[in-house]
Amino acid sequence: MNPDIPDWRGGLVTAGVDIGSTSTQAVIMVDGQLYAYSSIRTGSDSPNSAMDAINIAMEGTGITSQDIDFTVGTGYGRVNVPIADKTVTEITCHAKGSNYIYGSSVRTLLDMGGQDCKAIHCDETGKVTSFIMNDKCAAGTGRGMEVIANLLSVPIEEIGDLSLNVDEEPNPLSTICVVFAKNELTALMRNGWPIEKVLASYCRAMAIRVVRLLERNGMEANFAITGGIAKNTGIVRRIEKMLGVEALTSELDPQIAGALGGALIAKTLVEKRK
Amino acid sequence: MENLLTYSGIRNESIEQWKREGKKTVGTICCHVPGELLHAAGLLPVRLRGTGCTDDSEGEVWMSSFACSFARSCFEFLLNGTYDYLDGIVSSDGCSMATRIYDNYKYYKRNEDSTRFYLKDIGAPRLYNGKHAVPYYISELNELKKGVENHFGVTITEEKLKHSIEVFNETRSLIRELYELRMSDEPVITGEESLKITLASMTMPKEEFNRMFRDYLTELKTRKPLAGYRARLMLIGSAIDDPEYIKVIEDRGGLIVCDATCYGNRQLWEPVAYEGDAISSIANSYLSRTVCPRMCQVSTHNSLYEMIVGMVKDYKVDGIIYTKMKNCQVWGSENLYCEEDLKAANIPLLIVEREEIMTNAGQLAVRAEAFIEMVEKGDK
Amino acid sequence: MSEQFDLIKYLNDSVDSLLDYMKKKSPERLWMFEVQKSQWGDIYNAHRDGKKLIYVGACVPPELIFAFDCVPCLLDAIPTRLASQPELSSKYIDFAEQFVPSTMCAIDKVDVGTVFSGDMVEKPDAFIYTSYPCDNSRAIYPAIEKKLGVPTFVIDAPFRKDDRGYRYLADQYKDLVVFLEELTGKKLDWDRFEEVMDISNKTNILMDKVSTLRKRVPCPLPSRLLVLNELQLQMIGHPGLLKFFENQYEVGMSNIENGIGAVPDEKYRVTWLQNMLWSNAGIMDWMEKKYGAVLIMDAFGYQKAPLFEDPKDRERVFMDCGRKALASPMIHGASGPAEIYLDLVDQVMDEYSINVAMFVGHVGCKHTWASAKMVKDTIAEKYDLPTLTMDIDACDARYKSTEEIREIISEYMESVVGAKALN
């Protein structure tokens, strides 16, 4: 809950709900300012996940669903947001949300979500100008990272830092395909590679793949990363190094970019109607 | 009013009726087999396609997983009885995959009595209006003409050919009228419906199509304009013979108003100008019209790109959706040639990969929708 | 900022180092490598020597280029050369994949990569290409033409290999002469052309003789030498290639006289039915050692090239150029109707007494993969042999490791063919 907004009553209350394949976020804004948000794991029932996320976000605020003037649903499960007044794709929402989180200078976005990976260009208002998506395989996605974390019995949130703990960067895994990567990773472990080196090899391969996606769409300063994997320092550092750029940072959680964008778009739609 | 759209199916009542009358049908592959020639022989030319294929595993056994799924699906249909009404196939080497549909089928039927099923491949040059290309093509067409006459026991006279050209030219003119309607600021027809119409034109006797479509056009012109679409889009890329694909895009709010695809407007559009004799006239016309990137020497004959840019202007297109069939080489790397130019001309482009058998409608939908959100110009 | 990498200079320098090394280590094998100096050295030095450098695609008669005293650079020769150096080939492949689908043939990906990356530092004076060999080349050559921005001549190769087709090519080759005359500012020197045709004929006669030697049981020449047959596409008519085959023939004859075969004990006569495995040519050496299995002939490389029947007949010469172009390696089988490919395979199986057939299938060559079943069925029906089918990438070694390839071949040789490992 945003302490800078003393009272939400009287303001335009909008919400964005981003139902991803692995996590769901809900954001509440008042007059286009971030007010409250939540992030939970997506359950097997998307409509319930959406309502749970919104309810958690509203907790302690005094807001009820009736008080929300407009809700935008986005993400993989966007058609399953019961209270959504409109659905907008996560591409459009992430660009808008990133503009808020990182500022109007951001032009190139990388969104690494649960099941796909997107390179997005936007203008100074956060409007999308071009995009490329990769959803053919798990490489560069949260799902892929989860599989590797399980295989190597490493908590997913530790992977990044561990992978950076190497003196010399090893060769990247020869295959990015998660199915075949499992074999190669196991072989490396058997060959006595320490866990840090194995993780470095995987993160490097993944970063290469992601960088190619970005380059295909074209790189333009400034650059920012959203989605769950933005928190994986191992991937982020490697991407930055390969591209020779530093990703913008923010105190706000980059995972909420989609829902935040949705709430902003909701505001625009309300204002257009007037 | 009879429903023209039902004749867009690969198997339809119009073909059944044709067969009941004891007449013969010949499948054609790609755009350089002149339907007029077959029509003049009293045959019904039907353009081969894979619309509605749900399983191409047998096709894959023959053509391998490295072939494009369009070609595999066409071949699957040849094997599984979908095309059992055909009495022959004439193929032009549009691209290597198209050629292989023919090659594999010919091999498949190698032990059968060749007098029962007519098989012929013709070489189609790859140079627009080439000074040696046209005579080469004319020789190929003359050979085809003789082959058809011998096999089917008919004589293809100059008069018959001339008449066939007139019939086909009328079809072309009607299709141009259809697209003219789509150019309007207040379009009355979706891309999905339009594709069904052009598919029907390739899957039924042209005379019947011409008659039915004239009525259809009259009705179309009385329709109320479509509402609720958010962007005007153009379709380019590998062969699209599947209205369902277009429906996915249009359900998300994008209206396909024009295209540069071979089941859309690239097969039947430019009229054949009769000059001298029919075969030469056909050859000249077919080799001057813009087709697909199968053609070479495009730097000096940039007609495809110019056509695309021209249509964007005429049809007030907000963005181009460029679909690439997986393993398609012809359209697969065309962006290497034209993407920068399109960007420089400020034409938004969405590139999507596809397979003939649509398993990724959700993926197409989210990209199409995001693209529409990107290019839409305000509420309609 | 790092210095621009000059690929052709690198290739030329590599050949020089290689030749220095061979002079010291095994001068008797120098002849196998000198031809590469003719290839890359000539290209590198073209402008220095005051000659026009012309990029070419397949089916452009090298004899005509030499007759005008120009230097041809066959773009497709670069990927096959770089295939054995993954650090370079992967650089260009990855670069190209920014623009073209990853399913494109790696030969064309490397072509795109080398030209678009700027590593082909010396700009050519012209670009001549045809509509062969395949959809991949047709897709990228116009883009390369646009990128280069140099005078370009395009020839349409005919669908069928018959008199009409040869005539079609012949007519376009005559137009090509006009183009070359404009480019060089000189008329075609027929005396020079006759000289070149003479060298070309001598070379083709020798190539046929060498191929015939390989029909002997046991085969007197190693598998490896097959890799260089593709040089014909770029260098037929060049004295360097003639010398190469003179030496090869001599070695072959000497081996026969001394009762030496490619291997001490030839057990299996193998054919590879598609592209040469440039990215892992060592597999051939390994097959020889492990199973006494010699790659006798590969379908793409197989050729009995037509000759210039009468170099003084100025009409006939162009028809013969057409015949030769359509009989060149890879073109003869892989382009046009599949029937020709099946006939070719049948010829190889028969003439070379093949008893092991392998479809070592380059994944980028989709239209021959789409003929693979017909090829295998033809072999099974006529020769009662099962064909090993394996997908590889002929120019991108990363696709399949050496271990994997060996495992697949071993499994086939031992379980299906009944071979025993020799060591």
| Per-residue pLDDT tens over the stretch B251-264 | 999 999 999 999 99
Region B319-333: mean pLDDT is 92
* pLDDT computed for residue B277 by the predictor: 96
Of residues A131, A135, A272, nearest to B370 (C-beta): A131
Q: Specify burial of residue A55 (Cβ count, 10 A radius: 0-12, 13-18, 19+).
A: middle
Domain locations in chain A as residue ranges: 1-103+251-274, 104-247
Q: How many contacts (CB atoms, under 8 Å) link A and C?
A: 7
Per CATH, the number for C7-189 is 3.40.50.11890
Mean pLDDT of chain B: 94
* pLDDT computed for residue B19 by the predictor: 97
Q: Which residues of C touch A215 (CB under 8 A)?
A: 98
* pLDDT computed for residue B245 by the predictor: 96
Walking along chain C (423 residues) 10 residues at a time, the average pLDDT comes out as 86 95 93 93 97 96 98 96 94 91 94 96 96 91 92 95 95 98 97 98 95 95 90 93 96 95 94 95 96 94 90 96 92 88 94 97 95 97 97 94 95 96 85
| Cβ-contact B352, A71 below 8 angstroms | no
Q: Could you tell me which chain B residue has the CA closest to the CA of C392? A: B66
Task: Tell me C221's DSSP state.
Answer: S
Interatomic CA distance for residues C243 and A54, integer angstroms: 81
Q: What is the pTM of this model?
A: 0.93
| Cβ-contact C401, C279 below 8 angstroms | no
With an 8 Å Cβ cutoff, are B337 and C138 in contact? no
Does the CB of A127 have a partner CB in chain B at under 8 Å?
A: yes
How long, in residues, is chain C? 423
Cα distance from C367 to chain B (closest Cα, Å)? 6
| Cβ-contact C354, C271 below 8 angstroms | yes
* pLDDT computed for residue C154 by the predictor: 95
Q: Which residues of A touch B318 (CB under 8 A)?
A: none
| Cβ-contact A165, A134 below 8 angstroms | no
Task: Tell me A135's DSSP state.
Answer: -
- Kindly report, residue by residue over A93-128, the tens digit of the pLDDT: 999 999 999 999 999 999 887 778 899 999 999 999
C-alpha R_g of chain C: 21
Interatomic CA distance for residues A183 and A193, integer angstroms: 14
Provide the CATH topology of domain A1-103+251-274: Nucleotidyltransferase; domain 5 (3.30.420)
Residue carrying the six token digits 């029962």: B116
Does the CB of B71 have a partner CB in chain C at under 8 Å?
A: yes
Neighbour subunits, B (≥3 Cβ pairs < 8 A): A, C
Most confident range, picked from B73-82, B106-115, C302-311: B73-82
C-alpha R_g of chain A: 19
- Kindly report, residue by residue over B200-241, the tens digit of the pLDDT: 999 999 999 999 999 999 999 999 999 989 999 999 999 999
Cα distance from C334 to chain B (closest Cα, Å)? 10
SS3 (DSSP) at C332: helix
Interatomic CA distance for residues B21 and B362, integer angstroms: 44
- Which segment of A73-77, B85-89, B164-168, B300-304 scores lowest on mean pLDDT? B300-304
Task: Tell me B117's DSSP state.
Answer: S
With an 8 Å Cβ cutoff, are B297 and C154 in contact? yes
Does the CB of C420 have a partner CB in chain A at under 8 Å?
A: no
Q: Could you tell me which chain A residue has the CA closest to the CA of C398? A: A174
Pick the closest to residue C136 from C101, C108, C97, C100 (CA basis).
C108
* pLDDT computed for residue C99 by the predictor: 86
Strand partners, A38: A26
Of residues A89, A132, A133, nearest to B373 (C-beta): A89
Q: How confident is the model at residue B335 (pLDDT cuts 50, 70, 90)?
A: confident
| Cβ-contact B348, C154 below 8 angstroms | no
Q: Which residues of B touch C172 (CB under 8 A)?
A: 132
* pLDDT computed for residue A230 by the predictor: 82
* pLDDT computed for residue C2 by the predictor: 64
Residue type, A149: A
Q: Could you tell me which chain B residue has the CA closest to the CA of A78? A: B366
With an 8 Å Cβ cutoff, are C143 and B139 in contact? no
Using the Cα atoms of residue B138, residue B139, residue B144 and residue B147 in order, give the sign of their dihedral.
Answer: positive
Region B187-192: mean pLDDT is 96
Question: Token pair of C43, please?
Answer: 């290209």
* pLDDT computed for residue A44 by the predictor: 81
Interatomic CA distance for residues C349 and C215, integer angstroms: 10
* pLDDT computed for residue A165 by the predictor: 87
* pLDDT computed for residue A21 by the predictor: 82
| Cβ-contact C294, C214 below 8 angstroms | no
* pLDDT computed for residue B309 by the predictor: 93
Q: Which residues of B touch C133 (CB under 8 A)?
A: none
Pick the closest to residue C370 from A143, B173, B59, B284 (CA basis).
B59
pLDDT above 90 (res A215): no
Q: What is the DSSP string of B140-187?
A: HHHHHHHHHHHHHT----HHHHHHHHHHHHHHHHHHHHHHHHHHSSS-
Mean pLDDT of chain A: 87
Of residues B136, B298, B339, nearest to C168 (C-beta): B136
Of residues C98, C398, C401, nearest to A216 (C-beta): C98
* pLDDT computed for residue B380 by the predictor: 36
Q: Could you tell me which chain A residue has the CA closest to the CA of C397? A: A174
Does the CB of B367 have a partner CB in chain A at under 8 Å?
A: yes
pLDDT above 90 (res A173): no
Q: Could you tell me which chain A residue has the CA closest to the CA of C101? A: A216
Query: Is A104-247 a domain of CATH 1.10.760.10?
Result: no
For a pLDDT cut of 70, what percent of chain A falls above it?
95
Q: Which residues contact B170 (CB under 8 A, 6 or more apart)?
A: B206, B210
Interatomic CA distance for residues A189 and A152, integer angstroms: 9
Q: How confident is the model at residue B379 (pLDDT cuts 50, 70, 90)?
A: very low
Residues in A 180-199 with any Cβ partner in C closer than 8 A: none
Interatomic CA distance for residues C266 and A104, integer angstroms: 73
* pLDDT computed for residue B299 by the predictor: 66
Cα distance from B68 to chain A (closest Cα, Å)? 17
Cα distance from A222 to chain B (closest Cα, Å)? 20
With an 8 Å Cβ cutoff, are C398 and A215 in contact? no
pLDDT above 80 (res A180): no
* pLDDT computed for residue C273 by the predictor: 95
